[in-house]
Structure 1
Amino acid sequence: MSEFDGLVAVVTGGASGIGAAVVRTLRKRGAKVAALDLTEVPAEDGLLGVRADVTDDAAVRAAIEAVSVHFGRIDIVVNNAGIGAQGTVADNDDAEWLRVLDVNLLGMVRVSRAALPHLRRSPAAAIVNTGSVAATAGLPQRALYSASKGAVAALTRAMAADHLHEGIRVNCVHPGTADTPWIGRLLDRADDPAAERAALEARQPHGRLVSAEEIAHAVAYLASPSATSSAGVGLAVDGGMQELRLRPR
Structure 2
Amino acid sequence: MHGKVVVITGASGALGKVVADAAIARGARVACIDRTAADGDATTSRIHLGDVDLSDAARAMKAIDAAASHFGRLDVLINIAGAFAFETVADGDPSTWQRLYAINVATALNASRAAIPHLLASGAGRIINIGAMAALQAGAGMGAYAASKAGVHRLTEALAAELKGKVTVNAVLPTIIDTPANRKDMPKADFATWVTADELANVILFLASDAASAVTGALVPVRGRI
**What is the TM-score with the length of structure 2 in the denominator?**
0.93
Match runs of 1:70-219 below 5 Å: 70-165=70-165, 167-187=166-186, 193=187, 195=188, 197-198=189-190, 201=191, 208-219=193-204
How many angstroms does 1:26 deviate by?
0.9
The CA distance in 1 between the partners of 2:146 and 2:86, in whole Å, is 10
The CA distance in 2 between the partners of 1:186 and 1:210, in whole Å, is 16
| Residue equivalent to 2:223 | 238
The CA distance in 2 between the partners of 1:211 and 1:59, in whole Å, is 31
How many angstroms does 1:155 deviate by?
1.3
Please give the root-mean-square deviation of Cα atoms over the aligned residues, in Å. Answer: 1.5
* Preserved CA contact (<8 Å) 1:84 1:182: no
* Preserved CA contact (<8 Å) 1:73 1:118: yes
CA radius of gyration, larger in: 1
The CA distance in 1 between the partners of 2:86 and 2:224, in whole Å, is 22
How many angstroms does 1:91 deviate by?
3.0
The CA distance in 1 between the partners of 2:177 and 2:201, in whole Å, is 11
* Preserved CA contact (<8 Å) 1:35 1:41: no
Q: Mean alpha-carbon deviation: is it higher for 22-31 or for 34-43?
A: 34-43
In structure 2, the gaps of 5 or more residues are: none
Listed one character per residue, the Cα deviations across residues 143-198 of structure 1 (whole Å, up to 9, x for unaligned) are 11111111111111111001113x100000001101124414523xxxxx3x2x24
Number of residue pairs aligned between Structure 1 and Structure 2: 223
Residues 104 and 182 (structure 1), Cα distance of their counterparts in 2 relative to 1, 3 Å cut: farther
* Preserved CA contact (<8 Å) 2:104 2:148: yes
How many angstroms does 1:239 deviate by?
2.1
The CA distance in 2 between the partners of 1:115 and 1:185, in whole Å, is 35
How many angstroms does 1:129 deviate by?
0.1
* Preserved CA contact (<8 Å) 2:174 2:195: yes
How many angstroms does 1:235 deviate by?
1.1
In structure 1, the gaps of 5 or more residues are: 188-192, 202-206, 242-249
How many angstroms does 1:140 deviate by?
3.1
The CA distance in 2 between the partners of 1:185 and 1:36, in whole Å, is 26
Residues 110 and 181 (structure 1), Cα distance of their counterparts in 2 relative to 1, 3 Å cut: farther
Residues 71 and 60 (structure 1), Cα distance of their counterparts in 2 relative to 1, 3 Å cut: same
* Preserved CA contact (<8 Å) 1:41 1:48: no
Q: Is 2:28 aligned against 1:28? A: no
How many angstroms does 1:20 deviate by?
1.1
Query: Percent of pairs identical after alignment?
Result: 36
What SS does the corresponding residue of 2:30 show, helix, strand or coil?
Answer: strand
The CA distance in 2 between the partners of 1:100 and 1:31, in whole Å, is 31
| Residue equivalent to 1:38 | 35
| Residue equivalent to 2:67 | 67
